[in-house]
Amino acid sequence: MRLQADNISVKLGGRRVLEGVGFDIEPGQVIGLLGPNGAGKSTLMRALTGQLPAEGAMRLGAHDLASISPAARARLIAYLPQQRIIGWRLTVRDLVTLGRLPWRAFGRRPDSGDEAAIARAMEMADVTPLADRIATELSGGEQARVLMARAIAQQTPLLIADEPASGLDPAHQITLMQSLNRLAENEGRTVLVSLHDLTLAARWCDRVMLLNKGRLAAFGTPETVLSEAHLAEIYGVKAHRARDEDGLIIAPVGLTERQNRD
Ligand SMILES: Nc1ncnc2c1ncn2[C@@H]1O[C@H](COP(=O)(O)OP(=O)(O)OP(=O)(O)O)[C@@H](O)[C@H]1O
């Protein structure tokens, strides 16, 4: 489904932390949300998921996100928060099964459609070998993958993931981005994912949004948005950009002179 936002602003603690953010995202794409710490990435994601009051208009397909019920929202948007908290001593399979709750009448056992969605989500997040382990007894990166599997199992048209790659080893970072691309390309889902790794964003995102101080500084292909000039101006870093047959490689290697003086 198409995701549209028009002039979104959010005030927190009396301070405007998002200001006039607008975009229009066609379905079937992985969109990277980038920007320095405090730029407003989580705030934007929480506004889109109805967790924060926001000014402006947000639509997903024909749905006005400001006025839909929580039950309808849970069938439209899956959200992976930045804080990875697992509250219950559940097995990994049972925790991923919770992702199916929006689609099941209360108390009904998972049917074959649910089971297929759960198995596929566990495979995409590479947690199938952990299925019978207690989720709270897993490592930080393993827990992150389990929570990602739960969000994927929800099978919503929009998947919003706040720093899903943080804490993952390099192989699992790539597996994650491959899975998000499969969801977008094969199933037409819209994926909005915040990232701090510039190379992951450059190679795996169709489009990149760059937030700075609560405003949308740039939105476009990784090639244009993650330019040396933007990286210097917004992140305050000097970066090497190189290219191989699979795309762009961006490695921050130092601070700009301005950043060094600050
Ligand atoms: N409850 C709050 N009250 C006041 N200010 C807040 C509150 N929550 C967040 N902020 C501020 O809003 C701004 C945006 O925060 P946000 O968490 O959206 O940033 P972010 O881009 O996700 O950063 P990071 O990369 O560190 O996760 C920050 O300056 C933060 O201090």
Return all residues near 180 (Cβ < 8 A) that are at least 6 apart: 30, 159, 161, 191, 193, 204
Higher-pLDDT residue of 174 and 105 is 174
3-state secondary structure of 252: strand
Return all residues near 188 (Cβ < 8 A) that are at least 6 apart: 27, 28, 157
pLDDT tier at 99, thresholds 50, 70, 90: very high
Q: Which residues pair with 34 in a beta bridge?
A: 210
Question: Does ligand 1 come within 6 angstroms of the Cβ of 112?
Answer: no
pLDDT score for 195: 98
- Over the stretch 108-137, which tens digit does the pLDDT of each residue have? 888 899 999 999 999 999 999 999 999 999
Q: How far is CA 42 from CA 65, 123, 193, in A?
A: 17, 27, 10
pTM equals 0.96
Question: Does ligand 1 come within 6 angstroms of the Cβ of 78?
Answer: no
Question: Does ligand 1 come within 6 angstroms of the Cβ of 39?
Answer: yes
Ligand 1 probe mutation, 9, 10, 11, 12, most atoms within 8 A of CB: 12
pLDDT score for 117: 97
The alpha carbon dihedral of 178, 119, 192, 140 has a sign of: negative
Cα 39 to ligand 1 centre (Å): 7
3-state secondary structure of 213: coil
Report d(CA 231, CA 209) in Å as an integer: 13
Ligand 1 probe mutation, 42, 160, 212, most atoms within 8 A of CB: 42
- Over the stretch 212-226, which tens digit does the pLDDT of each residue have? 999 999 999 999 999
Cα 195 to ligand 1 centre (Å): 15
Report d(CA 40, CA 82) in Å as an integer: 13
Question: Tokens 């899903």 correspond to what residue?
Answer: 164
The alpha carbon dihedral of 47, 103, 90, 176 has a sign of: negative
- Over the stretch 129-163, which tens digit does the pLDDT of each residue have? 999 999 999 999 999 999 999 999 999 999 999 99
- Minimum mean pLDDT among 26-40, 187-201, 245-259: which range? 245-259
pLDDT score for 259: 63
Protein residue with least CA distance to atom 24, ligand 1:
37
Question: Does ligand 1 come within 6 angstroms of the Cβ of 251?
Answer: no
Range(s) within the chain of domains with CATH label 3.40.50.300: 3-226
Question: Does ligand 1 come within 6 angstroms of the Cβ of 83?
Answer: no
3-226: CATH topology: Rossmann fold (3.40.50)
Residue 48 in tokens? 């889109």
Question: Does ligand 1 come within 6 angstroms of the Cβ of 15?
Answer: yes
- The angle subtended at Cα 153 by Cα 60 and Cα 41, nearest 5°, is 50
